[in-house]
Amino acid sequence: MPAIELSGRRIIVAVTGGIAAYKACELVSTLVKSGAQVRVVMTESARRFVSEMTFATLSGHEVAWDMWAPRTNVEHISLAEFAEVCVIAPATANVIAKCAHGIADDLLSTCLLALTCPVVIAPAMNTRMLCSAPVQANLATLRERGVHVVEPEEGRLACGETGAGRLPATEVLVEAVRDALRSRRGAMSGMRILITAGPTREAIDPVRFLSNPSSGRMGYELAAEAQRRGADVTLVSGPTSLPRPEGVAVVAVQSAEQMHEAVQERAGVVDLFIGAAAVADWRPAEAATEKMKKGDREEMTLRMVRTPDIIASVAQWQPRPTIVGFAAETNETIAHAREKLQRKGMDMIVANDVSEPGAGFEVETNRVTLIDVIGRETDLPLMSKAEVAAAILDRAGALIASRESQ
Ligand code: C5P
């Protein structure tokens, strides 16, 4: 089995109020040293055992615990969008019960309810509490839902008794985090994903074309991440300078027409379609077969015609795949994106204001809002395009699951 690299992984460490909370310091420190990006969320009672200052220093980020702190974003949602995996260590009987029953009465439990990533729970408590019927029933419910429960170790407990209930050593917890990430890797196993990426080139003559500054990076990151998650990925790409993502079938095209044809060839055999290409809306009505000469003209007029709308044509397929599109806008981004989502028959649209610094074309980062067909709208913070790709696939996976269950 390939080793799971922790470097760059986005991990939430959720600390609840047991004496073993001090051991979570070592866990955070170990994850950070492995290169992971760690955010710590605490309950009020955990703060009685360890100061949030300790975790803020170890993780290099402010600790989230106060539901009512003044802020501009919805913290439990942005944390949930951030996470690739969440580890609750130590997990008290109280938080286990809340998780099992969907109770959300503080920042930590609210955040847990919003997570779509794998969750690791490391229970730590007195043996009799651990063995009690409600705790065991709640753990069984969580296991059934796919939560990774780390077995507590036996030994001397803080209360003086001896038995099962100790928080396992940091290495055991880190291994459980790796296992959970590994399970996420296979989350799209067997899924057929078709992605368009990059710009298109619309020929004016054999040596000139109309195009745009799309680098193709967003689509390539999506293809690479979907492949890592076990999907069978085809990338239809306009001209870019990016290396071909490993394990991905790439179909190279130039024009919108060619991109449309390459996509249409796969009608009926796609589960998820992601239109990340910056497709030209117009092309010259006729491309000259020979290089156009300037002559002594001061002006020239190019007659343009519409290109096919690829995404809208995919929405006509039977069976229709789940469809994700992009809206790169320079004004009224959200309103335009919502309109586009409806008009083109998409399930989700990724809206970004390309006039914002760090977002859009030719940069490595992006700041996007995910809007889906049932009206959910999530603002993601400025992230690398790889992180945005992971967040888009998490949400797309959840949409596919909800369509399947209907
Ligand atoms: O309205 P607009 O065409 O800008 O919508 C952008 C979305 O539609 C993107 O997801 C883009 O890949 C897709 N698109 C398409 N075919 C076109 C134009 C855009 O699939 N001809």
Question: Rounded to 10 degrees, what is the CA torsion of 371, 374, 378, 383?
Answer: -50
Residue ranges lining ligand 1, Cβ < 6 Å: 196, 256, 275, 277, 279, 281, 307-311, 325-327, 340
247 C-alpha to ligand 1 centroid (Å): 26
Summarize the confidence of residues 236-259 as an average pLDDT.
96
Q: Does residue 222 belong to any structural domain of this protein? A: yes
CA distance 149 to 16: 15
Q: Are residues 112 and 219 in the same domain?
A: no
CA distance 226 to 241: 20
- Residue 99 among the catalytic residues: no
Q: Which amino acid type is present at position 184?
A: R
Q: Does residue 294 belong to any structural domain of this protein? A: no
Which pLDDT belongs to residue 157? Answer: 83
Q: Are residues 151 and 240 in the same domain?
A: no
Q: Which amino acid type is present at position 251?
A: V
Q: Does residue 293 belong to any structural domain of this protein? A: no
Which pLDDT belongs to residue 356? Answer: 82
CATH code of 92's domain = 3.40.50.1950
Q: Are residues 127 and 147 in the same domain?
A: yes
Which pLDDT belongs to residue 116? Answer: 83
Domain that holds residue 382: 192-282+302-405
Q: What's the per-residue H, E or C state across the chain? A: CCCCCCCCCEEEEEECCCHHHHHHHHHHHHHHHCCCEEEEEECCCHHHHCCHHHHHHHHCCCCECCCCCCCCCCHHHHHHHHCCEEEEEEECHHHHHHHHHCCCCCHHHHHHHHCCCCEEEEECCCHHHHHCHHHHHHHHHHHHCCCEECCCEEEECCCCCEEEEECCCHHHHHHHHHHHHHHHHHHHCCCEEEEEECECCEEEECCEEECCCCCCHHHHHHHHHHHHCCCEEEEEECCCCCCCCCCCEEEECCCHHHHHHHHHCCCCCCCEEEECCECCCEEECCCCCCCCCCCCCCCCCCCEEECCCHHHHHCCCCCCCEEEEEEEECCCHHHHHHHHHHHCCCCEEEEEECCCCCCCCCCCEECEEEEECCCCEEECCCEEHHHHHHHHHHHHHHHHHHHHCC
Check whether 1 has a pLDDT greater than 60: no
Q: Are residues 179 and 260 in the same domain?
A: no
Check whether 259 has a pLDDT greater than 70: yes
94 C-alpha to ligand 1 centroid (Å): 48
Which pLDDT belongs to residue 324? Answer: 98
Q: Does residue 272 belong to any structural domain of this protein? A: yes
CA distance 198 to 222: 12
CA distance 159 to 153: 15
Q: Which residue minimizes the CA distance to atom 5 of ligand 1? A: 327
Query: How do 348-353 and 368-372 pair as beta strands?
Result: antiparallel
Atom of ligand 1 nearest to the CA of 276: 12
**Residue 19 phi, psi (nearest 5):** -60, -30
Q: Are residues 196 and 159 in the same domain?
A: no
Which of the listed residues 165, 185, 205 is the one where a domain comes to its end? 185
Which pLDDT belongs to residue 334? Answer: 94
pLDDT tens for 309-328 read 999 999 999 999 999 999 98
Check whether 40 has a pLDDT greater than 80: yes
151 C-alpha to ligand 1 centroid (Å): 49
Q: Does residue 141 belong to any structural domain of this protein? A: yes
Among 310, 313, 370, name the best residue to mutate to test ligand 1's pocket (greatest count of ligand atoms within 8 A of Cβ).
Answer: 310
Q: Are residues 240 and 371 in the same domain?
A: yes
Query: Is the backbone of residue 187 left (phi > 0), alpha (psi -120 to 50) or beta?
Result: alpha
**186-195, 273-282, 367-376 — most confident range:** 273-282
Per-residue confidence band for 252, with pLDDT thresholds at 50, 70 and 90 = very high
Q: How many domains does the chain have?
A: 2
Per-residue confidence band for 235, with pLDDT thresholds at 50, 70 and 90 = very high
Using alpha carbons, list the distances in angstroms from residue 276 to 195, 237, 296. Answer: 7, 10, 41
Q: Are residues 66 and 159 in the same domain?
A: yes
Check whether 117 has a pLDDT greater than 60: yes
pLDDT tens for 321-370 read 999 999 988 899 999 999 999 999 999 999 998 888 877 777 788 889 99
Which of the listed residues 159, 185, 211 is the one where a domain comes to its end? 185
Residue (of 2, 15, 87) closest to 47 by Cα position:
15
Query: How do 162-166 and 208-210 pair as beta strands?
Result: unpaired
Q: Are residues 246 and 142 in the same domain?
A: no
Residue (of 323, 315, 381) closest to 348 by Cα position:
323
Q: What percent of the chain has pLDDT over 90?
A: 73
Q: Are residues 307 and 229 in the same domain?
A: yes
State pTM to two decimals. Answer: 0.72
Using alpha carbons, list the distances in angstroms from residue 124 to 90, 100, 167, 227. Answer: 6, 16, 5, 37
Check whether 86 has a pLDDT greater than 50: yes
Q: Does residue 297 belong to any structural domain of this protein? A: no
Atom of ligand 1 nearest to the CA of 325: 10
Q: Does residue 105 belong to any structural domain of this protein? A: yes
Q: Are residues 110 and 237 in the same domain?
A: no
Q: Which two tokens stand for residue 70?
A: 């003044």
Q: Are residues 274 and 374 in the same domain?
A: yes
Which of the listed residues 157, 185, 213 is the one where a domain comes to its end? 185
Per-residue confidence band for 30, with pLDDT thresholds at 50, 70 and 90 = very high
CA 231 to chain centre: 15
